[in-house]
Amino acid sequence: YEEVDEREKAPHYEQRKWEEEQMSSAVFRFGARDAKEKRIKDEGKDYDLVLDDQIEFIQALTLPGTKDEKDDEEKLSETQKKRLTLEETRRSLPIFPFKEDLIQAVKDHQVLIIDGETGSGKTTQIPQYLYDAGFTKDKKKIGCTQPRRVAAMSVAARVAEEMSVKLGNEVGYSIRFEDCTSERTIIKYMTDGTLHREFLSEPDLQSYSVMIIDEAHERTLHTDILFGLVKDIARFRPDLKLLISSATLDAQKFSDFFDEAPIFRIRGRCFPVDIYYTKAPEADYIDACVVSILQIHATQSLGDILVFLTGQEEIETCQELLQERVRRLGSKIKELIILPVYSNLPSDMQAKIFLPTPPGARKVVLATNIAETSLTIDNIIYVIDPGFCKQNNFNSRTGMESLIVVPISKASANQRAGRAGRVAAGKCFRLYTAWAYQHELEENTIPEIQRINLGNAVLTLKALGINDLVHFDFLDPPPHETLVLALEQLYALGALNHHGELTKLGRRMAEFPVDPMMGKMLLASEKYKCSEEILTISAMLSVNGAIFYRPKDKIIHADTARKNFFAVGGDHLTLMNVYNQWAETDFSTQWCYENFIQHRSMKRARDVREQLAGLMERVEIELVSNPTETANIRKAITAGYFYHVARLSKGGHYKTVKHQQTVTIHPNSSMFEDLPRWVLYHELVFTTKEFMRTVSEIESKWLLEVAPHYYKPRELEDSTNKKMPKQVGKSRAELGDH
């Protein structure tokens, strides 16, 4: 690596906004690629590694660390060798020396802001310290919220292990559709959304003595709303202790919000991290990741690598590419253990990322944003940061929601880099230029509340009796239009009356921990006598992992298998088909395997279905089945999702009915070649364009039947009733989604 003056800007960079660049699900293009072929710097070691497409980094700056360790490498191998016992590990955490002070501070103050580096032990230790200090004595619980499911589960498992109890007994977790707690539970980890829902049954949080709002800096929608709710509760319950714990510089802001609550700072260990930037923008960051991983593996001393990718699909692609390359290199390189981490990863796989790396080998963890602050993986020395994350975005003008890949913020980039400096001095390789970092990244990530649909949140707040949302105590208020739109949508769904009060239907909808549209669909199934079918469809839609498995080397087989499930009427019924056929085989794993169906996703769908069935019972909807009444099933779906309707226009494109946005059927859809006149979609995904995912054919007159107050007959007029010509010659590749 060349050492370059930090002030030197990356040369010849075509100045363009990242968002404007072309993008596909796996590949994001920005700037012209400099097609230089570079060889790995041969440090006299016996690697014969010739990488075809070598990227080049320049070192730009070093993130300041608190200590400068000269012999980090020795240190690292020492810790690796030593294999600390659990108890020793607990004592070695940066938070440990603060134990007594922290307990005292909690006793002295009702609200406390905790500010400490990621990995210092906040999440795993604080509840245990408070337990030791007797905060659970009168049968009250210590609660701790996490923005992410995986974090809640894995942290609970870790704490159960540290306390030598069975997970689900004294230490448990509760996440949407899964409750792993019992009567005995005194330390409870949960997602912020779960606590949100607990307010519905226990508005004063009476069963808790302490509530920790953890990872507050993540600023998820649920966490943001919890701030307002717990602040309010704290006034009524002087005995409730409130801890707001955060990893970054937001502490002052939290303190201001919570009436100048004191800030308790935990100084973490932090070694210097050298930052490297690519000389030129990278055209294909997945490929650049693979090359960088191998480059580090071949030239850098031992220490594990953490790579930040945007989602499961990308992680799998990267994993495949990397495995292929490693296989080809054979014994020329040392052992490289590749481990993925994302939110849908099954728990046995999750546990693997925490296992120590065997001597002589190197671990590479391919993770989503979850590893940015929620999960700490020890012994990471190298971080590869392509600079992107997946973000939920909502356009309040058009009412459209989409999940898109966006550049991260500077705060995020620095947080990611910091992950390399926890056990020794580290290195962070940014797959973007220093110029891009300085000029194209925002300072901070915009809080979720300001960029996503508030339908669900507003419904829950209304169900909690909070009617005046405009004056709700928000840390950062949502945009007025978004709030109004959420209210309008709930009104259109029939959840609110024209005074903005919750209706009976709305109250029933709030029972379901799902999007209001799905809630409405579930309730509408009663009228259309297809509750069993809608339950199945809802469960399948709720599994956000893929259902269909499409391995690169068996694409044709996989696609044929998928087509066998296609149902007349579209993807919703196709999903139902898959589930029903699977159920007929008595939920066989082998069947999934033979039909290219992801068994894991199906198992999850089954769990979700069970949970939803329980809730249907609570709102007293009888479970009846009419699988052949496919029009009725689709009407029930339309009753919930009438917002998501598009009409075919010229050229095989669709226009959304209300906002005339151009959208296209996703190539994976069973409707891709049919192009019915009217379609309903489950979601929009923006990759190369706005794709409708999970699409079904509907009839326009149904819209007047299920949402007469929302659609006017004139909007739905069909001037020509001719069938549109079939779309010809548009291949998957052309549509840019692989």
Tell me how far, at minimum, the Cβ of 214 lies from ligand CDP, in Å: 7
**Start-to-end CA span in the chain (Å):** 34
Task: Name which of Mg ion, ligand CDP, none residue 463 binds, using a CB cut-off of 5 to 8 Å depending on partner kind.
Answer: none
- Token pair 């297809």 in the structure block, residue: 530
Q: Exposed, middle or buried by CB within 10 Å (0-12, 13-18, 19+), for 176?
A: middle
- Judged by CB under 5 A, does residue 145 bind Mg ion? no
At closest approach, how far in Å is the CB of 64 from ligand CDP? Answer: 20
Q: What is the dihedral of CA 245, 246, 249, 251, to 10 degrees?
A: -20
What are the distances in angstroms from CA 720 to CA 606, 629, 672?
Answer: 43, 28, 22
150 or 291: CB nearest ligand CDP? 150
Cβ closest to ligand CDP, residue 61 vs residue 133: 133
For residue 120, the minimal CB distance to Mg ion (Å) is 8
Q: Which is closer to ligand CDP, CB of 26 or CB of 423?
A: 423
The option from Mg ion, ligand CDP, none interacting with 354 (CB < 5 to 8 A, set by class) reads ligand CDP
Cα 394 from Cα 485, distance rounded (Å)? 11
**What is the DSSP track for 246-273?**
ESSTTHHHHHHHTTS--EEEEPPP---E
Q: By CB under 5 A, is residue 542 in contact with Mg ion?
A: no
Nearer to ligand CDP, 136 or 376 (CB): 376
Residues in contact with ligand CDP, counted by CB under 6 A, come to a total of 16
* Window contacting ligand CDP (CB under 6 A); options: 103-111, 120-128, 515-523, 583-591: 120-128
Q: Which does 220 bind (CB under 5 to 8 A by kind): Mg ion, ligand CDP, none?
A: none
- Closer residue to Mg ion, CB minimum distance, 122 or 231: 122
Cα–Cα dist 322/401, whole Å: 33
Query: Is position 116 an interface residue for ligand CDP (rule: CB under 6 A)?
Result: yes
Minimum Å gap between C-beta 172 and Mg ion is 18
Minimal distance, residue 501 CB to Mg ion, in Å:
39
Helix pair 516-527, 531-542: axis angle to 10 deg: 160
Q: Which residue is nearest to Mg ion (CB)?
A: 123
Nearer to ligand CDP, 93 or 298 (CB): 93
CB of 107 to ligand CDP, least distance (A): 21
Interaction with ligand CDP in 64-103: which residues (CB under 6 A)? 93
Q: Interface mask (CB under 6 A) for ligand CDP, residues 499-538, using x and -?
A: ----------------------------------------
Look at residue 116 and give the partner it binds from Mg ion, ligand CDP, none, a contact being a CB closer than 5 to 8 Å depending on partner kind. Answer: ligand CDP
For the CA atoms of 569, 571, 573, 578, what is the dihedral angle to 10 degrees? 140
User: Quick one: 251 or 535, whose CB is closer to ligand CDP?
Assistant: 251
Rank residues 119 and 478 by Cβ distance to ligand CDP and give the closer one.
119
Contacting residue, 155, 175, 633, 671, with ligand CDP by CB under 6 A: 155
Structure tokens at 326: 């490693």
x/- string (CB under 5 A) for Mg ion, residues 112-131? -----------x--------
Buried b (16+ CB within 10 A) or exposed e, 421-444: bbbbbbbbbbbbbbbbbeebbeee
Backbone angles phi, psi at 76, to 5 degrees: -60, -50
Out of Mg ion, ligand CDP, none, what residue 120 binds, judged by CB under 5 to 8 A for its kind, is: ligand CDP
Other beta carbons less than 10 A from residue 341's beta carbon? 23
Residue for token pair 């993770």: 367
User: Distance of CA 626 to CAs 580, 610, 640, 706, Å?
Assistant: 13, 19, 19, 19
Determine which residue in the list 31, 121, 506, 513 makes contact with ligand CDP, applying CB under 6 A. Answer: 121
Over its C-alpha atoms, the chain yields an Rg (Å, rounded) of 26
Q: Which of 25, 54, 80, 118 binds ligand CDP (CB under 6 A)?
A: 118
Least Å from the CB of residue 556 to Mg ion: 45
The residues facing 340 across adjacent strands are: 366
Of 54, 136, 154, 601, the one binding ligand CDP by CB under 6 A: 154
What are the tokens at 86?
A: 């659990």
Tokens of 302: 């031992």
CB of 337 to ligand CDP, least distance (A): 17
* Distant-in-sequence, close-in-space partners of 34: CB < 8 Å, separation ≥ 6: 279, 280
Q: How far is residue 100's CA from residue 69's CA, in Å, rounded to a whole number?
A: 29
Name which of ligand CDP, Mg ion, none residue 119 binds, using a CB cut-off of 5 to 8 Å depending on partner kind. ligand CDP
Taking the complex as a whole, the smallest distance from the CB of residue 627 to ligand CDP amounts, in Å, to 43
Residue 162 touches ligand CDP, criterion: CB under 6 A? no
Q: Mark 659-698 with x for binding to ligand CDP (rule: CB under 6 A) and - for no binding.
A: ----------------------------------------
d(CA 306, CA 309): 10
Is 222 in contact with 190 (CB distance < 8 Å)? no
Q: Which amino acid is at 7?
A: R
Min separation Cβ 154 and ligand CDP, Å: 4
CA distances from 610 to 538, 539, 614, 617, 623 (A): 11, 9, 6, 11, 12
| Partner from ligand CDP, Mg ion, none contacting 281, C-beta within 5 to 8 A by type | none
> Which residues 227-286 are close enough to bind Mg ion by CB under 5 A?
none
Task: Name which of 5 and 87 has its Cβ closer to ligand CDP.
Answer: 87
The minimum distance between CB 213 and ligand CDP, in angstroms, equals 13
433 binds, options Mg ion, ligand CDP, none, Cβ within 5 to 8 A by partner type: none
How many residues in the chain? 738
Q: Binding partner of residue 612 among Mg ion, ligand CDP, none, CB under 5 to 8 Å per kind?
A: none
Nearer to Mg ion, 116 or 519 (CB): 116
* Binding of ligand CDP by 656 (CB under 6 A): no
For residue 151, what is the enclosing H or E element?
Answer: helix 149-162
Element (H, E) at 460: helix 455-463
**# binding residues, Mg ion (CB under 5 A):** 1
> Which stretch, 98-106, 151-159, 315-323, 434-442, contacts ligand CDP (CB under 6 A)?
151-159
Spatial separation of the C-alpha atoms in residues 637 and 537, rounded to whole Å: 9
Other beta carbons within 10 Å of 650 = 8
Least gap, CB of 89 to ligand CDP (angstroms) = 7
404: part of which helix (H) or strand (E)? strand 400-407
User: Distances in Å between the alpha carbon of 219 and those of 184, 227, 246, 336, 649?
Assistant: 31, 10, 10, 35, 40
Positive/negative CA dihedral, 3, 8, 9, 12:
negative
Among Mg ion, ligand CDP, none, the one that 386 touches (CB under a kind-dependent 5 to 8 A) is: none
Q: Which does 591 bind (CB under 5 to 8 A by kind): Mg ion, ligand CDP, none?
A: none
Site residues for ligand CDP, 339-378, by CB under 6 A, read 354, 376, 378
Name the burial class of residue 43, with classes exposed (0-12), middle (13-18) and buried (19+) by CB atoms within 10 angstroms of its CB.
exposed
For every residue of 537-560, DSSP letters joined together read HHHHHH--S-SB---GGGHHHHHH
Pattern 614-653, binding to Mg ion, x per CB under 5 A? ----------------------------------------
* Residue 524: CB minimum distance to ligand CDP, A: 41
Residue of 99, 102, 119, 192 that binds ligand CDP (CB under 6 A): 119
Interface residues with Mg ion (CB under 5 A) are: 123
Interface residues with ligand CDP (CB under 6 A) are: 93, 116, 118-125, 154-155, 158, 354, 376, 378
